[in-house]
């Protein structure tokens, strides 16, 4: 019988799942790695994210399949045993034979991202499962040696250059330490013959989302650093997205990478960006990223929010519940009005194709941006983000469709560009009239516009301004049913 090998005699974390430990701080001087958010990113506003790896083979629940399949009380485990057999014999490593990607075409993917109106994209170079989606010299468990047999990140970088779109990668391997822990001491993750796939065994308490009483040895930090440097050396992405839990990596190692990446970029004449979660990075050297949230107000510094096209999963699953183009366009408008960028995730299938529903959603967003992109790209926030009665739950991520409150024609989001104010209206009024109360004649913004028009329609619109607001009459039906934009010129 084989089982896990304890590496430290420590008590388990008493508050699993409670979030980052309060004691997490940054104590070193990061000023040498200072790197402000580049202008190109602030102007881009919209990007595509994707999660693609061996977890797409079972296509069940989500990309955490590789972790939850080893927990005997979890629904994923019961599903796995019923369909594939015991985790002692058929483990996560066995999925690699079906992760073939035979229909993967990097140029087709990048072309679709551009059709969606994205100005950049970020690919999951390595998820928490430790499988590298590039031609790694230090990690033989990669997409060139196993499964697909191709350098996925290399092909996507080349396609990005050909099609003139910004290329970024995400790395989630701060989760790998403690990822493959099982409640079954004879699971294949503990078999010494499988160290290549799962790494050295660690105490089960290392599998907590945010451990605080147990931390990895220095070797884990150095391995993290080596992979990060390898990605930079081979592909020099313009964005490095780091998932959470990065605080388990020694701060001096994180700082070392920040300086290394910046030096490499400057030598190549590139403006780059690091995005991070929570307290994992210094704000001087990166930009804060939020996951599946609704930010309540304009933030003074640029930020990014990433969310999914399919509810409850970042990877492809069978019979997923898809968000509508309207829901995602409204989310984009809300984010941009508050000084943020929207990174929208998709999940390709195991053969490398992107399913028809995802394609339809992306093309619908692209069609809307083709008409209304003037109010999104290259804009900055107005004095206030908008107006209207609808407020989403900002205390936690919205994980179910019924938790998302529908917007109305009274919900408006503002952006600006020079002397132009854009009012993005998140619904179609039945009577052809819209009132913008923020622009009332006796309010904080009493200036009278020179003219008002609708993006996608020719000619001006009649309007009048009084103490109640700016009243605009729509002469023609809006060109897009998801939302329409009033261009207000001063």
Q: Which residue has the tokens 């028009």?
A: 453
Q: Lowest mean pLDDT of 208-217, 245-254, 309-318, 459-468, name the range.
A: 208-217
The CA distance from 118 to 400, in Å, is 25
Position 418 confidence tier, pLDDT thresholds 50, 70, 90: very high
Pairing of strands 239-242, 166-171: parallel
**Burial bucket for residue 200 (CB in 10 Å: 0-12, 13-18, 19+):** middle
Position 15 confidence tier, pLDDT thresholds 50, 70, 90: very low
The CA distance from 257 to 260, in Å, is 5
3-state DSSP call for residue 258?
A: helix
Confidence (pLDDT) at 442: 87
Q: Count other C-beta atoms under 10 Å from residue 233's C-beta.
A: 11
The CA distance from 27 to 4, in Å, is 33
The CA distance from 157 to 379, in Å, is 27
Section 21-39 average pLDDT: 94
Mean pLDDT of the chain: 94
Between the alpha carbon of residue 24 and those of residues 253, 281, 395, the distances in Å are 15, 11, 21
pLDDT of 334 above 70:
yes
Confidence (pLDDT) at 365: 98
Chain region(s) in the chain for CATH 2.60.40.1180: 386-489
Section 109-133 average pLDDT: 98
Position 268 confidence tier, pLDDT thresholds 50, 70, 90: very high
What single string gives the DSSP state of each residue in 111-178? Answer: HHHHHTT-SEEEEEEE-TT--BSS--SS-SSBTTTSTT-S-HHHHHHHHHHHHT-EEEEEE-GGG-TT
Q: What are the two backbone dihedrals, phi and then psi, of residue 219, each rounded to the nearest 5 degrees?
A: -60, -35
Give the up-direction half-sphere exposure of residue 233: CA atoms within 13 A in the CB hemisphere.
12
Q: Express each pLDDT in 439-489 by its tens digit.
A: 999 888 999 999 999 999 999 999 999 999 999 999 889 999 999 999 999
Pairing of strands 340-346, 303-308: parallel
Confidence (pLDDT) at 9: 33
3-state DSSP call for residue 18?
A: coil
Closest to 232 measured CA to CA, from 269, 275, 263:
263
Residues found in the chain: 490
CA angle, 465 then 466 then 469, to 5°: 75
Chain region(s) in the chain for CATH 3.20.20.80: 31-375
Between the alpha carbon of residue 391 and those of residues 31, 328, 335, 407, the distances in Å are 38, 16, 13, 9
pLDDT of 14 above 90:
no
Closest to 363 measured CA to CA, from 334, 336, 407, 328:
328
pLDDT of 11 above 90:
no
Section 275-287 average pLDDT: 97
Confidence (pLDDT) at 1: 45
Tokens found for residue 146: 């196993």
Residue 167 near residue 121 (C-beta atoms within 8 A): yes
Position 18 confidence tier, pLDDT thresholds 50, 70, 90: low
Give the up-direction half-sphere exposure of residue 153: CA atoms within 13 A in the CB hemisphere.
29
CATH class name, domain 31-375:
alpha beta
Position 399 confidence tier, pLDDT thresholds 50, 70, 90: confident
Closest to 455 measured CA to CA, from 392, 381, 373, 400:
373
Section 404-432 average pLDDT: 96
Section 335-351 average pLDDT: 98
The CA distance from 193 to 239, in Å, is 36
Closest to 5 measured CA to CA, from 189, 129, 174:
189
CATH number of 386-489: 2.60.40.1180
Proportion of the chain above pLDDT 70, given as a percent: 96
H or E element at residue 230: helix 218-235
pLDDT of 234 above 80:
yes
Confidence (pLDDT) at 12: 40
Residue 15 near residue 310 (C-beta atoms within 8 A): no
The CA distance from 167 to 158, in Å, is 9
Closest to 244 measured CA to CA, from 170, 296, 148:
170
């Amino acid at each position: 019988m084989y089982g896990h090998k304890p590496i430290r005699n420590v008590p388990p974390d008493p508050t699993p799942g409670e979030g980052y430990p309060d004691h997490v701080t940054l104590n070193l001087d990061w000023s040498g790695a200072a790197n402000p958010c580049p202008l190109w990113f602030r102007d881009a506003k919209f990007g595509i994210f994707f999660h693609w790896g061996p977890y797409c083979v079972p296509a069940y629940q989500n990309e955490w399949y590789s972790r939850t399949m080893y927990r005997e009380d979890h629904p994923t485990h019961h599903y796995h045993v019923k369909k594939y057999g015991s985790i002692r014999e058929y483990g996560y490593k066995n999925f690699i034979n079906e992760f073939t990607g035979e229909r993967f075409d990097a140029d087709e993917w990048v072309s679709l991202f551009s059709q969606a109106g994205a100005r950049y994209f970020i690919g999951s170079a390595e998820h928490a499962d430790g499988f590298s989606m590039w031609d790694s010299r230090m990690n033989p468990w990669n997409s060139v040696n196993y499964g697909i047999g191709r350098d996925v990140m290399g092909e996507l970088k080349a396609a990005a250059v050909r099609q003139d779109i910004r290329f970024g990668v995400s790395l989630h391997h701060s989760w790998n330490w403690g990822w493959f822990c099982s409640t079954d001491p004879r699971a294949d993750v503990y078999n010494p013959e499988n160290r290549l796939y799962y790494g050295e065994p660690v105490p089960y308490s290392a599998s907590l989302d945010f451990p605080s009483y147990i931390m990895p040895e220095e070797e884990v930090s150095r391995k993290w650093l080596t992979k990060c440097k390898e990605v930079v050396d081979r592909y020099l992405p313009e964005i490095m997205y780091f998932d959470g839990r990065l605080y388990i990596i020694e701060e001096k190692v994180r700082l070392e990478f920040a300086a290394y990446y910046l030096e490499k970029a400057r030598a190549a004449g590139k403006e780059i960006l690091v995005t991070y979660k929570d307290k994992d990075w210094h704000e001087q050297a990166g930009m804060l990223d939020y996951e599946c949230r609704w930010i309540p107000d304009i933030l003074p510094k640029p930020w990014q929010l990433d969310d999914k096209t399919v509810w409850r999963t970042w990877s492809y699953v069978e019979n997923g519940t898809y968000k509508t183009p309207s829901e995602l366009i409204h989310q984009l408008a809300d984010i941009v009005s508050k000084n943020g960028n929207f990174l929208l995730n998709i999940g390709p299938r195991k053969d490398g194709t992107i399913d028809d529903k995802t394609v339809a959603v992306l093309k619908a967003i692209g069609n809307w941006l083709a008409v209304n992109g003037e109010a999104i790209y290259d804009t900055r926030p107005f004095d206030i983000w908008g107006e209207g009665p609808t407020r989403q739950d900002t205390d936690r991520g919205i994980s179910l469709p019924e938790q998302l409150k529908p917007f109305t024609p009274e919900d408006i989001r503002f952006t600006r560009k020079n002397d132009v104010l854009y009012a993005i209206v998140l619904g179609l009024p039945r009577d052809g009239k819209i009132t913008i109360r923020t622009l009332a004649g006796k309010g904080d913004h009493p200036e009278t516009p020179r003219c008002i028009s609708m993006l996608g329609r020719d000619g001006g619109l009649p309007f009048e301004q009084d103490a109640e607001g700016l009243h605009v009459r729509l002469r023609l039906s809006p060109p897009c049913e998801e939302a329409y934009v009033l261009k207000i010129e001063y």
